[in-house]
Amino acid sequence: MFAAAITGYLTAFSLILAIGAQNAFVLRQGLLRAHVFWLCLLCALSDAILITAGVAGFSAVVHLYPTLPKLMALAGAAFLFVYGAMRFYAAWKGNYELVLSGQSAPLWPTLATAAAFTWLNPHVYLDTLGLIGAVSTQFEPTPQKIAFAVAATAASFSFFFGLGYGARMLAPIMQSVRAWRIFDIGVGAVMWMIALALLTGEF
Residue 193's nearest CA partner among 61, 87, 91, 55 is 87
Give pTM, 2 decimals: 0.76
| Residue 141, helix vs strand vs coil | coil
pLDDT digits (tens, 9 = 90+) for 117-165: 889 887 788 778 777 777 787 777 778 888 999 999 999 999 999 999 9
pLDDT digits (tens, 9 = 90+) for 12-22: 887 787 667 78
Q: Tell me the three-class secondary structure of 94-120, residue by residue.
A: CCCHHHHCCCCCCHHHHHHHHHHHHHC
| Residue 146, helix vs strand vs coil | helix
Residue 34's nearest CA partner among 118, 95, 86, 110 is 110
- Contact present, 136 and 153 (Cβ < 8 Å): no
pLDDT digits (tens, 9 = 90+) for 100-129: 666 677 899 999 999 998 898 877 887 787
The C-alpha angle 177, 20, 90, rounded to 5 degrees, equals: 25
Q: Which amino acid, 145? A: K
Range of the domain at 127: 2-200
Number of domains in the chain: 1
The pLDDT > 70 percentage for the chain reads 89
